[in-house]
Structure 1
């Protein structure tokens, strides 16, 4: 089916994870709502806060499997890349200074990245991410 979404083509929704966007983070909720609008995405994993306790509490609130609540984006990228049912994409909704290292970790793990703007804070950083892609 040309132009069909993965879900429409019978492949099921895209499994995605989120970095940032936990308790008290407005933009994370906005991204989750947008991802649910067409039923093409399902949130299955997250490193939802740089504070591990807050990350876990956020995951519980969102109904994530506790095994897929991570204390860091680096841990999440490595673990999800190894899972047969691992995430296919990650939404990065952190403060700007975390965008590049988080995106780099997931790209190097072979996971597609959806990044809240800006992608990077310098052109050189953006070019380095583009080179990884």
Structure 2
């Protein structure tokens, strides 16, 4: 832990979402030996999925009673459909080549520029073009952090997220 910081260097938050889903967020600047170990894991009744920033081309699907499946970027099985059009739209290189952090920012800037161009031309931007954070997401993110800090300083252990 670093003296003088306004936020903790390590923290966890238990989450309850609408519709009853539950989650946990752990963020740490003091996990010795880790680099930028962003990981997303989602589990449901019948299985889960996992993605890790340090291995960004893989999405692992884990279904009950079935072997794990690993989906990799840039492959034909990711052909555009209702679920993968965003992945296909935002993949820039063929399979077998690493794609990562810089490309993700490039995608955000490109999608924003395509949206602006479409609007200037009087066209409706596609859903793929609109795939970039908007003001609402930024405000929600800052409100989430403020709520977590306020909760940590208060006596309540569960608080309703207020934007």
What TM-score, normalized to structure 1? 0.29
Compare the two structures and name the one with the higher strand fraction. Answer: 2
Greater RCO between the two (CA within 8 Å, min separation 6)? 1
Compare the two structures and name the one with the higher helix fraction. Answer: 1
Higher CA-based Rg: 2
What TM-score, normalized to structure 2? 0.25
